[in-house]
A and B are shown apart, each in its own frame.
Chain A
Amino acid sequence: MLQISDLHARYDGKDILTGVSLSIKPGEVHAIMGPNGAGKSTLGYVLSGRPQYEVTSGQVQLAGQDLLALEPEQRVAAGLFLAFQYPVEIPGVSTMNFLRTAVNAVRKARGQAEHDAPSFLRLVREKAKALGISEEMLKRPLNVGFSGGEKKRMETLQMLLLEPKLAVLDETDSGLDIDALKVVAQGVNSLRGSERSLLVITHYQRLLDYIKPDFVHVLSAGRIVKSGGPELALELEAKGYSHVA
């Protein structure tokens, strides 16, 4: 599904990724763990094409497509989704309006029919309900005044609506209490299937209790220094990053 080969990237004149290679097969869940400043969030931004991040060498393929050749919005159409660590506020734009605009833009780019208003409303209500997102919240401007937990639920809702092939979750557990974490994890797990893959970026093992990974990788100083099964996360939790990195 996702093939990253020897990826190097710079931000603000500094080399952040220094040769990341990673292969994710359809249906697999991979976790990227690592200390602060290891380049975890940069990896998410580079994959999604954030303009300020410059790829200096390497390749990335998503379902056979050259991801790095695409604009950010084309990557979404190709099946990539990034759940932000810090979702951005869009004042004056109601959440429902934003969701409809985004979903229809992506469906159009994928050659699918756009949703009409009533069918979209039904779809959103059903998925929002499962995530504990109220009708009232859907009417509010996107992310404006949302609590940390509300923002992460909203990221999850967007992920479910955009039906990605590969979702990158950047520190989705940050700012969540345990109840909110369970709800979000449930939402993420509902997306899992033989045709979808997940890349879970996290600092703590806690999230991985709820979203069980198939593989765990340790990112340190811009490259993957160790890979293993779920047990690696527990080992990191017990012994700390300095032990492996």
Chain B
Amino acid sequence: MPGADPHTIRTVAALGEARYPHGFETAIESDSAPKGLGEDTIRFISAKKNEPDWLLQWRLSAFKLWQGLREPNWAKLNYTPVDYQDISYYSAPKQKTAPKSLDEVDPELLKTYEKLGIPLSEQKLLAGVAVDAVFDSVSVVTTFREELKKAGVIFCSISEAVREHPELVQKYLGSVVPVADNFFAALNCAVFTDGSFVYVPPGVRCPMELSTYFRINAKNTGQFERTLIIADKGSYVSYLEGCTAPQRDENQLHAAVVELIALEDAEIKYSTVQNWYPGDKDGKGGIYNFVTKRGACRGARSKISWTQVETGSAITWKYPSCILQGEGSVGEFYSVALTTNHQQADTGTKMIHIGKNSRSTIISKGISAGQSQNTYRGLVRVLPRADGAQNYTRCDSLLLGDRCGAHTVPYIESKNPTARLEHEATASKVSDDQLFYCRARGLDEDEAVGLIINGFCREVLQALPMEFAVEAQKLIALSLEGSVG
């Protein structure tokens, strides 16, 4: 492996602030909860959303549990502690009545999503992709609902699902991530505001990609979204989430919970392109992204596949996981985590093998530049009855410059001697030979780095739905702009 030459080190040292084109703020009047967290806050949120009493009680019990939990400190992350009383837990754009169609949505909001490259107006809808747009604490619009309804697919905001499909929500909410699972998950249970809900009935292949676009706009506000996806027997759904936030000097908190349930022979493909504001070049501002994502492969031969491209946030704490209960069930985790400037990411997955012959694959690509720290943390656990369980893990790290860090922390626990577990890890640098070769073919340094990094991430990007793979490639190149040169 050729080492970095002095020129590259010099140019990397001149690392500029990665450009963040989504940093604008929408001027819109909003309806917010006063700062602070207590039972009153929870009652306020629940009342705003006209929730049934069972959900209010569930939130209140979560709040009690949360008060007894401690913020986790085992991750390789270093950040100013969050003052949970200095955050507003609810913010919604003011609107007299809930919009029934796109014509009734505030044009400012439509303009915002347009600027973000997510056109919501009917003429310009992304072909074959249904979008749920969540702005601060509320879902503003969900597209293509009629078409989905014809197929029997329910795709709506979780607030609406609580009202319209309480039996499904009550059955599955908190069934994968228990209320007291961890500090951030318990907080989310107490104060979650909105998010998406998907139910795909037995045997149905969802006719289009579903996607949710999360946007944090209001200042001093936390976003606590909650997503619940249920794929009934023999069904299939592909779901994608995207996230951005305005550029601000203060850190903002995002603590989401995502639960996936795949029944017999069902498959869920869940993709994330996370581009929350990462802070400036000196590490000021940026989103704290503390997220709990977990899927349960409940039925035999069910499959859950997580693909994530993580380029944003000042702090990322995120481990999308699979509980492989069903016999022959399959879990996959494909991840690209890119950190620049002072970003810190501690991310990975957990694959819990319970069912016989369950299989899992983990492909993680970490890219660190600037003075960032990038950690892969993963657990593969095989329980005693999981005969014939298999896991393949590969973690590749790529470093740009010599002031950043890449760390790989794999945990492997096998209680079944028939399990077959493989782990590979590599760490490398973008070589000067590669950079110069690309430049000698006419690419400038940024284009060269973008191309080389995208090549490094290829296996993961290929796992994304095609429309988004192209976007993700551009995002990676953009995030690294100025990393050399």
A residues near B, CB below 8 A? 48-52, 71-73, 76-77, 82, 84, 87-93, 98, 101-103, 105-106, 109, 141, 158, 162
Contacts and interface: CB of A to CB of B under 8 A. Distances in A.
Given A88-B437, A91-B456, A76 B5 contact: no
A141 B455 contact: yes
Contacts, number: 80
Given A52-B5, A88-B433, A72 B454 contact: no
B241 interface: no
Given A52-B5, A72-B436, A91 B455 contact: yes
B386 interface: no
B455 A90 contact: yes
Nearest to B434: A88
A82 B440 contact: yes
A92 B458 contact: yes
B442 A73 contact: yes
Interface of B: 5-8, 431-434, 436-444, 447, 451-452, 454-459
Contacts of A109: 442
B246 to A, nearest CB: 32
B336 to A, nearest CB: 12
A93 B451 contact: yes
B440 A98 contact: no
A29 B454 CA distance: 38
Contacts of A82: 440
Nearest to A161: B441
Contacts of A105: 441-444, 447
Nearest to B456: A92
A89 B433 CA distance: 9
A111 to B, nearest CB: 14
B429 to A, nearest CB: 13
Given A72-B436, A92-B456, 5 more contacts: A51-B432, A71-B439, A72-B439, A73-B439, A106-B441
Contact of B441 (A52, A71, A141, A162): A162
A53 B454 CA distance: 28
A92 B455 contact: yes
Nearest to A86: B433
Contact of B440 (A48, A52, A93, A103): A48
18 contacts: A50-B440, A51-B7, A52-B6, A73-B440, A73-B442, A76-B440, A82-B440, A89-B434, A90-B451, A92-B456, A93-B451, A93-B455, A98-B451, A101-B451, A102-B438, A103-B442, A105-B444, A106-B442
A51 B438 CA distance: 13
Contacts of A90: 434, 437-438, 451-452, 455
A102 B441 contact: yes
A50 B438 CA distance: 11
Contacts of B441: 76, 98, 102, 105-106, 158, 162
A72 B440 contact: yes
Nearest to A104: B442
A48 B441 CA distance: 10
A145 to B, nearest CB: 14
Contacts of B456: 91-92
Contact of A93 (B6, B432, B436, B454): B454
A103 to B, nearest CB: 8
Contacts of B439: 49, 71-73, 76
Contacts of A87: 437
Contacts of B8: 51
Contact of A102 (B7, B433, B442, B452): B442
* Most A C-beta atoms less than 10 A away, residue of B8, B438, B444: B438
A128 to B, nearest CB: 16
Contacts of A49: 439-440
A92 B432 contact: no
A51 B436 contact: yes
Contacts of A102: 438, 441-443
B447 A50 contact: no
B444 A71 contact: yes
A90 B441 CA distance: 13
Nearest to A107: B442
A52 B444 contact: no
Contact of B5 (A51, A89, A98, A158): A51
Nearest to A83: B440
A90 B456 CA distance: 9
B7 A84 contact: no
A49 B436 CA distance: 9
A52 B443 contact: no
Contacts of A106: 441-442
A90 B291 CA distance: 34
Contacts of A103: 442
A9 B190 CA distance: 68
A221 B7 CA distance: 26
B470 to A, nearest CB: 12
Contacts of B454: 92-93
* Most B C-beta atoms less than 10 A away, residue of A49, A76, A101, A162: A101
A142 B433 CA distance: 14
A30 B459 CA distance: 44
A109 B440 CA distance: 14
Given A84-B437, A90-B451, A92-B455, A52 B7 contact: yes
B399 to A, nearest CB: 16
B146 to A, nearest CB: 35
A77 B436 contact: no
B5 A77 contact: no
